[in-house]
Amino acid sequence: MQTLPNSSETVTEVRVEDDRTGLSVETLKRAFADNLFYIQGKFPQIASKNDFYMALAYTVRDRLLRRWLNTAETYSRNASRTVAYLSAEFLMGPQLGNNLINLGIYDQVNQAMQELGLDLRELLEEEEEPGLGNGGLGRLAACYLDSLATLEIPSLGYGIRYEFGIFDQDIKDGWQVEITDKWLSAGNPWELPRPEWSVEVKLGGHTEKRADEHGNFKIYWVPNQVVKGIPYDTPILGYKTNTANTLRLWKAEAVESFDFYAFDSGDYLGAVHQKTVSENISKVLYPNDNSAQGKELRLAQQIFFVSCSLKDMMRIMEQQKVPLEQFPEKFVIQLNDTHPSVAIPELMRLLVDEYDMPWEKAWGITKQSFAYTNHTLLPEALERWPIGLFGKMLPRHLEIIYEINKRFLDEVRMKFPDDTDRLRRMSLIDESGERYVRMAFLACVGSYSINGVAALHTELLKKDVLHDFYEMYPEKFNNKTNGVTPRRFMVLSNPRLCRLLNSKIGDEWIKNLYELKKLEAFVEDPEFRRQWREMKLEIKQDVADYIKKTTDIDVNVNSMFDIQAKRFHEYKRQHLNVLHIITLYNRIKANPDIDITPRTFLFGGKAAPGYYIAKLIIKLINSVGDIVNRDPDVRDRLKVVFLKDFNVKFAQRIYPSADLSEQISTAGKEASGTGNMKFALNGAITIGTLDGANVEIREEVGAENFFLFGLTTEEVYALKKEGYQPWEYYQKDPELKLAIDRIASGFFSHGDPKLFKPLVDHLLGNDQYMLLADYRSYIDTQDRVSEAYRDIDRWVRMSILNVARMGKFSSDRSIRDYCEDFWKVQPVNIELKEYVQATA
Ligand code: F58
């Protein structure tokens, strides 16, 4: 107890819960009612579910704001070294539930809502998720923001505030139909616009060499378009810390002066057109996963958010009085793949052209500031921009890239004299036909660190895709195996599992996932195994109810839930899974009394709208489901369900219910995978190839708790080299032949053999992803899976051990690795200033 200064009487200091910061049930209820009234302008009798959701979201946001402002103030006062995570995608998923968990008030809010006659779960369902990403890469960025805040690392996420995120998926007659995602239509309570920090970005035009006022010749860029970027900030709260970092997303708008000019000259329609063109930049997320799209608008998006973000960093430095020379000490810029790599010439341009810095000094700063993460080995996903298109939009950047390239090739020549072929291979400009800028090479030259996202992936980068760069700069290469946040993908999504874990090992694991190891001590406890089994059954029942409600299909919760949920791509081989389903079906048809382990096959995932074969695979799954689910011979032993519109919200629902996780990509194709981690953390057993992070998951959980099949990467390479003949596999294996023949004959397409012909032709033609080569191994392994599932006690042990041994795959571990290895950023503790009221 304190006395206030200058008080004559005894004054008692009483801490009163403020309506905007208090965390007790009573205060939360009061704040909620207040927000419903003053922000939504509604009273309970006429409020919609969305009004209630909004009132609650604002109640939670108020509590974030206090932490957020304290954090910002501390970073600003200390001029803390900061990670700037640049990503074209942040697949955040719904915010409310996660913020409740991280604030530690989920139970209080649940009770508050109950007392008000509302159901928290229904309100959570109400939130439109910000789907500002395609899949793994965008979701990884979101997990990393959660871990950065939890580990109290000063950081900023920079990206684009797309008006339309990833499309919603509907299924009509078995086909995918895309619907625009209108995530902002009901308003976004989590963001704060910051128009005072808007910046301008130039596009197009040409460059001129002119003397400045001192008679020195300089390059001037005369653009033909200028757009304004307005930052929208979202607080990112760590788990049970006071740290709330910022996700800053840029929205494109027209620059007023441009409109005025056109209006003045009487070109009204021209002015309006100009405005639309500018706003288009942040209109829509490109919906491609693992393929680059060489579109002008995409390049405009990249330079737009990158330029806005760099200028924002410079503004922050100025405000904190950090000299520009110290850019690499103040910021480390992590490039999430090559999409933001145009930041390298843009930083050069800012330093050289706008701050008059000599080239050598600017280059020294630049190459100490950037670090590059590669996420793919697929050649079609490696970005390259045609010189013509690039130069038209970014004439000055192209000149800068030429200069970087010239100096870089001199370096190569020094290190490898008389190796002209190497110069051709390593040039930042691909001159083999139409000329292109190679963005991955630019990222390698301009960064001090280059990392892959799983051990195997990094090795393949060094050996293959970036081999020349590895020889040139071996010290730059390192691995950072991906991870996922246990807050969203366990605590929030799987409360039943968490309760069981907490009852045995406490809740330390939420911050230190290696603590899960302690579970191993209970694996021999039959009562614990019974609880585990019961828990899984309850979760499966929930999902079964959801399936019934959304598809009207009955599924048997005692059957094995065999799930493949991820983007659709041929290399991920959802169609290999289908070949297994058809094989089981054929066995039943040949022998209706066959003893088969009942399975429910669940699929979820979107296909890029322009990727025909991927969409045809979705159609095939639905067509096979139509036949199998209705065939009386099957007697409910097999069910095939395609669950539409797989997104973050839906992922959280489905991962906990899996018995078997399908991670069946062709070896050497999946950089890491992160769904594989989410399934295993929720107790699914993996059937998988030695690809991406599967290799490390198997290492951790033990070979006996993982179903391995298929060719290794070396075997894939070798088989390709010796001339792979899929036809031979087809001819040799009667089960394989029958499965493919059934598809080809029109058995699943009302007798129409044409429908799936393109798919069959791919498989029997060159079978790029080697399904036929892996088929037999996959089927035999699936037979072992079925066998194992029959011994449910053995299965439960495997499931427990999977969870117990997955500690490595927390995104906290990944982020710690980044920090210690090359970010060199320290945690900063945030003190919460108390709100104190005094009464006599
Ligand atoms: C994914 N890449 C990898 N790219 O495929 C996956 O193995 C890895 O786990 C994940 O990154 C995280 O490291 C991926 O999702 C994209 O979606 C890009 C979007 C923009 C166009 C090019 C592909």
> Per residue in 790-804, pLDDT tens?
999 999 999 999 999
In Å, how far are 332, 499, 551, 815 from 819, measured between CA atoms? 10, 32, 46, 6
Calpha distance 426→436 (Å, rounded): 13
Tell which one of 85, 89, 91, 137 to mutate to probe ligand 1, the residue whose CB is within 8 A of the most ligand atoms. Answer: 137
550 C-alpha vs ligand 1 centroid, how far in Å?
A: 29
**Nearest-CA residue for atom 17 of ligand 1:** 289
Q: Which residues of the chain have pLDDT under 50?
A: 1-5, 7-8, 835-840
Active-site residue identified among 67, 81, 251, 567: 567
**The pLDDT value given to residue 4:** 45
**The pLDDT value given to residue 1:** 38
Work out the widest C-alpha separation in the chain, in whole angstroms.
Answer: 100
Amino acid letter, 580: H
Ligand 1 neighbour 140 (Cβ under 6 A): yes
DSSP-assigned beta bridge partners for residue 249: 159, 232
Share of the chain above pLDDT 90, in %: 92
Calpha distance 202→124 (Å, rounded): 41
Helix axis angle, 757-764 to 612-630, nearest 10°: 110
Ligand 1 neighbour 307 (Cβ under 6 A): no
226 C-alpha vs ligand 1 centroid, how far in Å?
A: 31
The 3-state DSSP class for residue 388 equals helix
Domain pair 83-94+129-386+440-479 / 561-629+638-647+658-809, same fold: yes
**Nearest-CA residue for atom 6 of ligand 1:** 673
Calpha distance 282→160 (Å, rounded): 6
Across the chain, mean pLDDT equals 95
Residue-wise pLDDT tens digits, 134-153: 999 999 999 999 999 999 99
**The pLDDT value given to residue 836:** 40
**Kind plus residue range of the DSSP H or E element containing 799:** helix 792-804
**The pLDDT value given to residue 268:** 78
**Residue among 251, 250, 262, 194 at smallest CA distance from 225:** 262
596 C-alpha vs ligand 1 centroid, how far in Å?
A: 37
In Å, how far are 497, 530, 804 from 701, measured between CA atoms? 18, 21, 8
Contact 543, 657 (CB under 8 A): yes
Tell which one of 290, 461, 569, 665 to mutate to probe ligand 1, the residue whose CB is within 8 A of the most ligand atoms. Answer: 290
Calpha distance 413→264 (Å, rounded): 56
Ligand 1 neighbour 668 (Cβ under 6 A): no
118 C-alpha vs ligand 1 centroid, how far in Å?
A: 39
349 C-alpha vs ligand 1 centroid, how far in Å?
A: 29
Q: What is the layout of strands, in order, in the sheet containing 384-386?
A: 384-386, 436-438, 429-430
Ligand 1 neighbour 672 (Cβ under 6 A): yes
Torsion of CA 108, 112, 118, 121, to 10 degrees: -10
Tell which atom from ligand 1 comes closest to the C-alpha of 140. 12
**Kind plus residue range of the DSSP H or E element containing 444:** helix 439-446
Ligand 1 neighbour 451 (Cβ under 6 A): no
Ligand 1 neighbour 136 (Cβ under 6 A): yes
Q: State the ipTM, two decimals.
A: 0.97
Handedness of CA 452, 457, 459, 465 (dihedral sign): negative
Supply φ then ψ for residue 82, to 5 degrees. -130, 140
**The pLDDT value given to residue 262:** 61
Ligand 1 neighbour 452 (Cβ under 6 A): no
669 C-alpha vs ligand 1 centroid, how far in Å?
A: 11
Is 251 known to be catalytic?
no
**The pLDDT value given to residue 329:** 98
Q: Does CATH number 3.40.50.2000 belong to domain 561-629+638-647+658-809?
A: yes
**Kind plus residue range of the DSSP H or E element containing 158:** strand 155-160
285 C-alpha vs ligand 1 centroid, how far in Å?
A: 14
Structure tokens at 382: 């490696």
Structure tokens at 33: 């009612």
Contact 67, 27 (CB under 8 A): no
394-400-403 Cα angle (round to 5): 145
Active-site residue identified among 572, 573, 637, 742: 572
Is 206 known to be catalytic?
no
**Nearest-CA residue for atom 19 of ligand 1:** 289
Helices within 552-674 (DSSP H only): 574-590, 612-630, 648-654
Tell which atom from ligand 1 comes closest to the C-alpha of 135. 15
Ligand 1 neighbour 137 (Cβ under 6 A): yes
**Nearest-CA residue for atom 11 of ligand 1:** 137
In Å, how far are 89, 465, 539, 563, 688 from 695, measured between CA atoms? 27, 20, 28, 19, 9
**Nearest-CA residue for atom 12 of ligand 1:** 137
Q: What is the DSSP letter of 350?
A: I
Tell which atom from ligand 1 comes closest to the C-alpha of 289. 17
- Please report where in the chains the tokens 């993908």 appear, as a residue: 489
Q: Give the domain ranges of the chain.
A: 1-78+107-127, 83-94+129-386+440-479, 561-629+638-647+658-809
577 C-alpha vs ligand 1 centroid, how far in Å?
A: 21
Q: Which architecture, in CATH terms, is 83-94+129-386+440-479?
A: 3-Layer(aba) Sandwich (3.40)
Active-site residue identified among 61, 375, 476, 487: 375
Ligand 1 neighbour 135 (Cβ under 6 A): yes
Is 330 known to be catalytic?
no
**Nearest-CA residue for atom 22 of ligand 1:** 290
**The pLDDT value given to residue 275:** 85
Ligand 1 neighbour 375 (Cβ under 6 A): yes
Calpha distance 464→669 (Å, rounded): 13
Handedness of CA 758, 759, 765, 767 (dihedral sign): positive
Tell which atom from ligand 1 comes closest to the C-alpha of 88. 20
289 C-alpha vs ligand 1 centroid, how far in Å?
A: 6
Ligand 1 neighbour 301 (Cβ under 6 A): no
Ligand 1 neighbour 484 (Cβ under 6 A): no
Tell which one of 289, 484, 569 to mutate to probe ligand 1, the residue whose CB is within 8 A of the most ligand atoms. Answer: 289
SS (HEC) of 569-581: CHHHCHHHHHHHH
**The pLDDT value given to residue 257:** 62
Is 420 known to be catalytic?
no
Which distant-in-sequence residues (6+ apart) come within 8 Å of 657 by Cβ? Answer: 536, 539, 540, 542, 543, 561, 563
Ligand 1 neighbour 692 (Cβ under 6 A): yes
460 C-alpha vs ligand 1 centroid, how far in Å?
A: 16
Is 240 known to be catalytic?
no
**The pLDDT value given to residue 259:** 56
Amino acid letter, 275: K
Ligand 1 neighbour 181 (Cβ under 6 A): no
Q: What is the DSSP letter of 518?
A: G
**The pLDDT value given to residue 52:** 98
Contact 702, 721 (CB under 8 A): no
Bridge-based pairing state of the strands 436-438 and 429-430: antiparallel
**Nearest-CA residue for atom 23 of ligand 1:** 290
Bridge-based pairing state of the strands 599-604 and 837-839: unpaired
Ligand 1 neighbour 673 (Cβ under 6 A): yes
Tell which atom from ligand 1 comes closest to the C-alpha of 339. 20
In Å, how far are 137, 144, 331, 344, 682 from 133, measured between CA atoms? 8, 14, 25, 23, 23
Active-site residue identified among 666, 674, 686, 713: 674
Tell which one of 376, 453, 458 to mutate to probe ligand 1, the residue whose CB is within 8 A of the most ligand atoms. Answer: 376
Active-site residue identified among 678, 742, 762, 805: 678
Is 674 known to be catalytic?
yes
295 C-alpha vs ligand 1 centroid, how far in Å?
A: 19
Active-site residue identified among 161, 566, 606, 742: 566
